[in-house]
C-alpha cells in the first residue's frame, strides 16, 4: 500500500501550515524508498504535521536506499518558541548512537591487526582503575563490550555511585553498558596514543567527510583552541514532552562523550552507517562479524532479536534489520538499516517525544515490519498520546470532553487511561489521579 498518497484538500491545508514553518532540504521532486517514488514535498508535509501534533521542535532525517542517501532534510527550530530555524548543518545530540563512531574506529584497528575482538582488553591496557577492584575485568573483551555482554553496569550512578560494578560474569548476560564503552575508549587511546577526539577525527570524521559532526557545542566561540575543531555553535536545545526547554550540557570534559554525547546530523550519520557496508571501508570479515557474531536475546514468532558487536539486529527470514535507539534527556534518535536490501532511515530530534516519529517515517518510506511492536507506547498515533495532544494544546477541560466522547462510544480502556495518567504525572499529579479514576465515576 502506498501510504504517501493524501487528498488534495489535506495537502493544501498542510501547505498553509507549512508556510509558517522551517523546512530545509531537497523538497522538490521525488526520491525512492523501498522501490517506490516518494513525493518529497508530501513527505515533508506529513512529517511537519506529526511534529506539530507531538510538539517536537526540530528533526533531522535521512532516508537510505540502494546503499546511498536518497533524501535528507531538516525541519523546525532549534528551541521551542524561537525563530532560529534549524538548518542542514545544525547538530543534534546523537545520544547512544554516539557509540557507533567508536565501533567504526575499533573495526579499523581490527582490520589492521592492532586489536583482536576476543583477546581480553587487559592484555592491551592492564590498568583500568575503575575496574581494578574486580578481577573479573581481566576477562572482558572488545566483543563483549560491543555486544553489551561485558557484565559492566550501564552507569555508576544507577547503583553505587562510588564504585563501577561488574554485575554479571563477563560474556554471559546482556547488560546494556555505556561504562563499557568508556573502558574500551581508554584502551583505544592507549593503543593509538591519541585522545578519543583526535583518533575519531583521524579515523572517522576526516575519511568519511563528516563536516557537521562534533564532540561539543559552545555559545561563546571556541575559547579552547585544542577543541575548536570539534566544536559548533549551531546546535539544537532539548525539550521534555511538554515542550519545556531543558538545560544543555556544554562541558568540554564530557566523560560520557564516546557513549552518549557526540553531536551530528542525519546526513553525516548516514555516511557513517553506509560506510560499514560499502565493501570499500572494511573487509568482508568485518561485515560477517556484524551480522553473524550475534547473541540471541529474544526469539519471537516471525523474527528474533539479537545483540551484535556494534548494532542490535532484528532477524527476519528474508532480511536483517540493524537498529539502534538513542535517548538523552530532551533528545531521541533512531537508526534502522537493512544490510541485505541496503535501505533504511535515520533521525535525530530535540524532544523526549521524538521516538514516536519512527513509525510514521517507516510507514511513509521503508515499510519495514515494525508493527511487531504493536501496542508499544512509543507507537503514534495511539489513544493516550492523541489525548495528551488534546491536553497540551487545549487544556484539561478539553481533555475531559474528549474522554467523555470516547467513553460514550465505548472506545476507552483502562490501560489507555493508565498510560495517559502516567504521562500527565510528570507535570500534574492531581490531574493524573483524576484521569486514573475517570472510568470509575
Rounded (5°) CA angle 137-143-147: 100
Helices 284-292, 99-111: crossing angle, 10 deg rounding? 130
* Average pLDDT value for residue range 428-433: 95
Q: 248 is written with which cell numbers?
A: 544543555
pLDDT of res. 228: 65
The confidence score (pLDDT) of residue 221 equals 52
Helix axis angle for 414-424 and 429-436, nearest 10°, is 180
- Could you give the percent of the chain with pLDDT greater than 90? 77
The pTM of the whole model exceeds 0.85: yes
Q: What confidence tens digit (pLDDT) does each residue in 293-346 have?
A: 999 998 887 889 999 999 999 999 889 999 999 999 999 999 999 999 999 999
Q: Where in the chain is the domain with CATH 3.40.710.10?
A: 99-216
The C-alpha cell that represents 266 in the structure block:
542525519
Please tell me the distance from the alpha carbon of residue 403 to that of residue 411, in angstroms, as a whole number. Answer: 9
**8 pLDDT more than 50:** no
**Quick one: pLDDT band at residue 441, thresholds 50, 70, 90?**
confident
What's the confidence (pLDDT) of residue 286? 94
pLDDT band at 12 (very low <50, low <70, confident <90, very high): very low
Q: How far is 410 from 281, CA to CA, in rounded Å?
A: 57
- pLDDT given for residue 230 in this prediction: 84
What is the spatial distance between Cα 350 and Cα 81, in angstroms, rounded to a whole number?
Answer: 13
Query: How much is the pLDDT for 226?
Result: 52
Give the cell for residue 271: 555516511
Question: What are the Cα distances from residue 358, in Å, to 28, 40, 51, 206?
Answer: 23, 17, 12, 30
| Strand pairing report for 231-232 and 216-217 | parallel
pLDDT in tens, 356-402: 999 999 999 999 987 654 445 567 888 998 999 999 999 999 999 99
Average pLDDT taken over every residue of the chain? 89
pLDDT of 6 reads 40
d(CA 263, CA 42): 28
Q: What is the pLDDT of residue 9?
A: 40
As given in the structure block, the three cell numbers for residue 169 are 560474569
**DSSP 8-state secondary structure symbol assigned to residue 221:** -
Residue 10 pLDDT exceeds 70: no
Query: What CATH number was assigned to the domain covering residues 99-216?
Result: 3.40.710.10
Strands (E) located in 235-294? 263-264
pLDDT digits (tens, 9 = 90+) for 409-425: 999 888 999 999 999 99
Nearest CA among 18, 25, 22 for reference residue 72? 25
Q: Is the pLDDT confidence value at 223 over 80?
A: no
Amino acid at each position: 500500500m502506498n501510504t504517501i498518497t493524501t487528498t488534495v484538500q489535506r495537502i493544501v491545508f498542510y501547505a498553509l501550515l507549512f508556510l509558517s514553518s522551517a523546512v530545509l532540504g531537497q523538497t522538490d521532486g521525488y526520491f525512492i524508498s523501498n522501490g517506490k517514488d516518494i513525493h518529497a514535498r508530501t513527505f515533508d508535509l506529513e512529517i511537519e504535521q506529526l511534529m506539530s501534533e507531538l510538539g517536537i521542535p526540530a528533526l533531522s532525517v535521512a532516508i537510505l536506499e540502494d546503499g546511498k542517501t536518497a533524501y535528507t532534510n531538516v525541519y523546525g527550530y532549534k528551541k521551542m518558541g524561537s525563530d532560529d530555524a534549524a538548518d542542514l548543518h545544525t547538530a543534534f545530540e546523537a545520544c547512544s548512537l554516539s557509540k557507533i563512531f567508536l565501533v567504526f574506529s575499533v573495526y579499523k584497528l581490527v582490520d589492521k591487526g592492532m586489536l583482536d575482538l576476543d583477546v581480553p582488553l587487559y592484555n592491551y591496557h592492564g590498568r583500568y582503575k575503575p575496574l581494578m577492584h574486580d578481577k573479573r575485568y581481566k576477562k572482558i573483551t572488545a566483543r563483549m563490550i560491543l555486544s553489551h555482554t561485558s557484565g559492566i553496569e550501564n552507569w555508576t550512578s544507577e547503583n553505587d555511585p562510588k564504585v563501577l560494578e561488574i554485575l554479571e560474569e563477563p560474556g554471559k548476560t546482556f547488560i546494556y553498558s555505556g561504562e563499557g564503552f568508556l573502558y574500551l575508549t581508554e584502551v583505544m587511546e592507549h593503543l593509538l596514543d591519541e585522545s578519543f577526539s583526535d583518533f575519531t577525527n583521524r579515523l572517522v570524521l576526516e575519511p568519511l567527510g563528516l563536516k557537521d559532526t562534533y564532540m561539543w557545542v559552545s555559545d561563546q566561540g571556541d575559547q579552547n583552541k585544542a577543541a575548536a575543531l570539534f566544536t559548533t555553535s549551531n546546535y539544537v536545545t532539548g525539550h521534555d514532552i511538554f515542550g519545556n526547554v531543558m538545560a544543555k550540557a556544554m562541558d568540554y570534559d564530557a566523560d560520557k562523550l564516546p557513549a552518549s554525547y557526540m553531536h551530528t546530523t542525519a546526513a553525516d550519520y548516514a555516511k557513517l552507517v553506509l560506510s560499514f557496508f560499502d565493501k570499500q571501508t572494511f573487509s568482508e570479515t568485518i561485515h560477517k562479524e556484524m551480522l553473524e557474531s550475534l547473541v540471541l536475546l529474544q526469539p519471537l514468532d516471525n523474527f528474533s532479536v539479537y545483540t551484535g558487536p556494534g548494532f542490535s539486529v532484528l532477524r527476519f527470514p528474508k532480511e536483517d534489520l540493524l537498529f539502534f535507539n538513542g535517548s538523552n534527556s530532551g533528545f531521541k534518535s533512531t537508526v534502522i538499516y537493512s544490510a541485505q536490501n541496503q535501505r533504511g532511515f535515520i533521525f535525530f530530534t530535540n524532544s523526549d517525544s521524538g521516538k514516536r516519529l519512527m513509525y510514521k517515517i517507516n510507514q511513509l518510506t521503508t515499510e519495514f515490519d515494525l508493527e511487531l511492536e504493536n501496542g508499544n507506547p512509543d507507537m503514534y498515533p495511539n489513544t493516550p498520546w492523541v489525548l495528551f495532544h488534546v491536553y497540551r494544546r487545549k487544556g484539561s477541560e478539553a481533555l475531559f470532553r474528549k474522554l467523555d466522547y470516547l467513553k460514550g462510544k465505548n472506545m476507552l480502556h483502562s490501560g489507555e487511561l493508565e498510560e495517559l495518567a502516567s504521562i500527565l504525572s510528570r507535570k500534574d499529579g492531581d490531574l493524573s489521579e483524576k484521569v486514573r479514576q475517570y472510568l470509575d465515576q
